[in-house]
Structure 1
Amino acid sequence: MSDVATSRTSRTTAGGVLAATCISTLVVNANTSAVSILLPAISEDTGMGVDTLQWAVTGYSLVGAAVIITSGSLGDVLGRKKVFQLGLALFVVSCVLIALAESGGMVIAGRVIQGAAGATILACGLSLLTVATSGDQRLKFVSLWGAAAAVGAAAGPLLGGVLVDVTGWQGLFWIDAGVAVACMALTFATVQESRDEARPRSIDYLGTVLIALTLAPLIYGFTKSGDWGWISAATLGCFAASVVAGFLFIRTEQRVAVPLLDLALLRNRILVGSTLAILIGAGTINGLMYLLSLYFQNPAALGFSPLEAGIATLPATVGLVVVAPLVPRLANKLGGRQVIGVGFILMAVGFAWIGFTDSTWAYAAFLLPVLAIAVGMGLSNGPASSAATASVPQEQVGGASGVSNMARYVGAAVATALCATIYATVQTNQLDDGASAGDALASGLAAASWLMTVISALGILLALVAIRRHKATEGTARDAAAAAAAHLHTIPTTASGSGS
């Protein structure tokens, strides 16, 4: 084959990988961000309460946290294309299962499967894109992948709202299944198989299971604490089971040949601090979207339709994307730690504002605090993600990215469960005390927001204490794309691998 033909084939292959991975990450992130908007409609059709259906959100994140690193390892060993295709197939199965669901339990089961599928698609998709390209093309394509992830997350609530009115809530999952099938065909036709021949063949399956066993009882204890009591035997038993599983996870990681989590990374203070900052940011923004999606649609509150609620929550996701191009330059000029701290201050102020929610508030009263939270999230999460990969040597960038990506799922699962529990518990207590439905809802939203205020304030402390000086990004378009996608996935920046 001539050099010209080889070059043309290479460009075609890279273009196919770009199309398949960008479309798939857009669909996965749009699907994920849309689900909270759909919960009231799903509750009405299935008869399951929204407080139980929150497992459709937390279950997704819980499984994603357990699977995201393992799926990348499976791709390295078994073949990235093969595992990516498996993720797409699981995504199709989960979408069909949810679309055909006649009970809330089937919806939750489908979303649990979807958590594994989504994590696999994201991990192996980015790996495929990285292997298929090099140099400037790799930088450009990875930036486009990050942009697709951010656009999908921003469009999800609006798309979900439109489809509930036009097709019913099931329409989102039928459409996503069709797009995933098309991605499978595109991947089959254009993507070449690749694997890491130098990597040991062993996979830390036990570590994956123990991550799930650590998170599941923890989150279940949070969600049932309102019924059982915080110091009841059942609640404390769940927390004890989580502690035991966490201890076993650490012991396992010390002994396996290729651990799921390299515990040596935890000695890096900047990485630990930035990972906790990422966890807090991802948790609070997911908790906010869950709460607002329910509050805006409740007839006793604002009474919005799903479409109106999707439009109403759009400023939160748009604010994240709009501020992203400014973040790398601000971090380069002012310092990453300072920008992270300012971001968490804005988030704390925004949540504190919502903490004063009153049943008489119209939508306009929420707009400024929601924008403050979104901008704060954009300011904090971009530099935190950059710090995570800048604080380690080049050979540890993949491990640092995996830790931070797992942290996003953990934060989303735990914070959503906490918000759902407080929102429902306070609402029930207020109703029992004779409050009106509107006042009870406002009190629940306010109580959950005060918790998010405290958590955001812990982020300020992290920025001051744990995140020391590290190499700043150059502020390129690649860095801007990484900042835009930072609330969803860690993408290496121009500063990555500079740690010693």
Structure 2
Amino acid sequence: MSDAAKVGGQVGARTGGVLAATCISTLVVNANTSAVSILLPAISEDTGTSVTTLQWAVTGYSLVGAAVIVTSGSLGDVFGRRRVFQLGLLLFVASCVMIALAGSGGMVIAGRVIQGAAGATILACGLSLLSVANSGDAQLRAVSLWGAAAAVGAAAGPLVGGVLVDVTGWQGLFWIDAGIAVLCMVLTALTVAESRDPDRPRTIDYAGTVLIALTLTPLILGVTKSGDWGWFSVATLGCFAISVGAAVAFVVVEGRVAVPLVDLALLRNRVLVGSTIAILIGAGTINGLMYLLSLYFQDPATLGFSPLQAGLATLPATVGLVVIAPLVPRLAAKIGGRQTIGLGFALTTAGFVLVGFVDASWLYPAFLLPLVAIAVGMGLSNGPASAAATAAVPENQVGGASGISNMARYVGAAVATALAATIYGNVIASRTAAGAVQGDALASGLAAAAWMMAIFSLLGVLMAVVMGRHRAAKGTLDDAAAAAAAVSFTLPTSATAGQTGSDRG
């Protein structure tokens, strides 16, 4: 961030208003994102669209978020952070209204795709606005509060969604969120000064944005439809071929543009690559888990929970993850970030293995131990992995490293949720066709998906072993807030400043 940009952002800015607008919007975006899985059965019943199809309301959001999260920050730097932030809020309002009025599943999915772009824009530009409106200790406090708001929103979303489905219908969440976003727009207009980065080249990597979407969309489509088309059908293989071709084109484009979406030189850093893969696995497995449990808990053939009961039932995973995360930086400072990440993924693996033995006769208490193990494990791995991403590079590359890790969260959520949904649906269909009762078929589907996520988590353990040494955060209060926010966004920590070459793995 240039000094000129900071000065421009501070002139006329009322920092209290900036803090309120960015924190409230971040809380709402994260709560909305984490609540949607709880709403899917109600949306399915209302629109007549299968839950299998509606998984695109989750994966489509993440897919577009992956493509937009870095680009929206660049747009803010060039065209004005407040202007792009306001555009993100406007898109969010429009998408909420579109979803609330939706009469079909396709309209819900389309609204969620737009919401993916809006949410990524609000997060990226909101944090930039907050950073340039404050300096020194005030900036640390403001960013820490922003991180806390992100964490609270992610944890509270499923419960809020469950409450609103019972009280207002599933549409209520989106009407309320639209209203709050409008208030944030007004607050931003009244209190936030415009800022830009005059030193940044004005070119935007639009091609990279398109190619990320073109890489992920056919990949997820091929995975999702593989049960109907066959893994080795022309359609499935064609999707994968398009995805590979787009990925190759993305690498070529990123090596040629003036300001690339992803600085490929950063990918030579073993610690950054390892931490990014760890973040991808963590985001993927928690999103896949929440999607599956939201469906399984509410199905009449299994536990038959109401949306509110399902929201309460997921609290050990969502709230546990956020509660344990702030305690982790001190542990990482004592035993090492790599060791903490490995321990976290080991616990997560154990939790998914336990879910892999699920039986139709299980009552809710049987899920508590694995849910707590998964929550604690993810809390242990998320924060140190996020801190390692920004600690592994020089100060002038922290923004690029943060962008890569934030993109990885969206990619992991999109791909893992699609995989989990596909495995769950295919196994249920296979077992039902073989004559199994519905409860047994659902349990088999959940078990198969859980084993897949256990394998991914085990890969996280191996990644922690090979990623190399890096400086761990000191365990300050700001580090605790960054660790709590790591479920949805990477924030710099005390490990980031003063990084030297000898500290990088």
Shorter-chain TM-score range: over 0.9
Check if 1:303 corresponds to 2:304.
yes
Matches within 5 A, 1:383-398: 383-398=384-399
Provide, for residues 71-105 of structure 1, a one-character-per-residue CA deviation record: whole Å limited to 9, x for no partner: 00000000000000000000000000000000000
CA distance in 2, matches of 1:32, 1:169: 14
Alignment partner, residue 442 of structure 2: 441
Check if 1:285 corresponds to 2:308.
no
Paired amino acid for 1:351: F
Alignment partner, residue 414 of structure 2: 413
Alignment partner, residue 7 of structure 2: none
Provide, for residues 208-253 of structure 1, a one-character-per-residue CA deviation record: whole Å limited to 9, x for no partner: 0000000000000010011111111111111111000000000000
Alignment partner, residue 237 of structure 2: 236
CA distance in 1, matches of 2:50, 2:340: 40
Paired amino acid for 1:478: D
Alignment partner, residue 476 of structure 2: 476
Matches within 5 A, 1:271-282: 271-282=272-283
Cα shift at 1:327? 0.6
Paired amino acid for 2:370: P
Alignment partner, residue 262 of structure 2: 261
Matches within 5 A, 1:118-129: 118-129=119-130
**Secondary structure of residue in 2 paired with 1:255:** coil
Q: Give yes or no for contact 2:11–2:193 (8 Å, CA) kept in 1.
A: no
Q: Give yes or no for contact 2:13–2:133 (8 Å, CA) kept in 1.
A: no
Alignment partner, residue 70 of structure 2: 69
Paired amino acid for 1:149: A
Identity %: 76
Gap change, CA 1:220 and 1:499, over 3 Å in 2? farther
CA distance in 2, matches of 1:92, 1:11: 27
Paired amino acid for 2:494: T
Alignment partner, residue 493 of structure 2: 493
CA distance in 2, matches of 1:12, 1:130: 12
Matches within 5 A, 1:23-38: 23-38=24-39
| TM-score, normalised by the number of residues in structure 2 | 0.96
Paired amino acid for 2:348: M
Paired amino acid for 1:484: A
Alignment partner, residue 373 of structure 1: 374
Cα shift at 1:499? 4.5
Alignment partner, residue 3 of structure 2: none
Deviating runs (4+, > 4 A) in structure 1? 9-12
Alignment partner, residue 338 of structure 1: 339
Q: Give yes or no for contact 2:91–2:115 (8 Å, CA) kept in 1.
A: yes
**Secondary structure of residue in 1 paired with 2:314:** helix
Paired amino acid for 1:469: R
CA distance in 2, matches of 1:158, 1:322: 16
CA distance in 1, matches of 2:283, 2:469: 23
Cα shift at 1:487? 1.2
CA distance in 2, matches of 1:53, 1:221: 16
Alignment partner, residue 44 of structure 1: 45
Provide, for residues 155-202 of structure 1, a one-character-per-residue CA deviation record: whole Å limited to 9, x for no partner: 100110011011100000000000000000000000000000000000
Cα shift at 1:325? 2.1
Gap change, CA 1:75 and 1:221, over 3 Å in 2? same
Give the gaps of 5 or more residues in structure 1.
1-8
| TM-score, normalised by the number of residues in structure 1 | 0.97
Q: Give yes or no for contact 1:34–1:160 (8 Å, CA) kept in 2.
A: yes
CA distance in 1, matches of 2:500, 2:381: 20
Paired amino acid for 1:184: M
Provide, for residues 21-78 of structure 1, a one-character-per-residue CA deviation record: whole Å limited to 9, x for no partner: 0000000000000000000000000000000000000000000000000000000000
Matches within 5 A, 1:66-105: 66-105=67-106
Provide, for residues 117-176 of structure 1, a one-character-per-residue CA deviation record: whole Å limited to 9, x for no partner: 000000000000001101000110100000000000111001100110111000000000
CA distance in 2, matches of 1:422, 1:499: 45
Gap change, CA 1:499 and 1:441, over 3 Å in 2? farther
**Secondary structure of residue in 2 paired with 1:400:** helix
CA distance in 1, matches of 2:259, 2:340: 36
Paired amino acid for 2:470: H
Provide, for residues 426-451 of structure 1, a one-character-per-residue CA deviation record: whole Å limited to 9, x for no partner: 00000000000000000000000000
CA distance in 1, matches of 2:452, 2:134: 44
Alignment partner, residue 463 of structure 1: 464
- How many residues were matched structurally? 492
Matches within 5 A, 1:98-177: 98-177=99-178
CA distance in 1, matches of 2:183, 2:475: 35
Give the gaps of 5 or more residues in structure 2.
1-9
Gap change, CA 1:131 and 1:12, over 3 Å in 2? closer
Matches within 5 A, 1:212-251: 212-251=213-252
Matches within 5 A, 1:6-17: 13-17=14-18
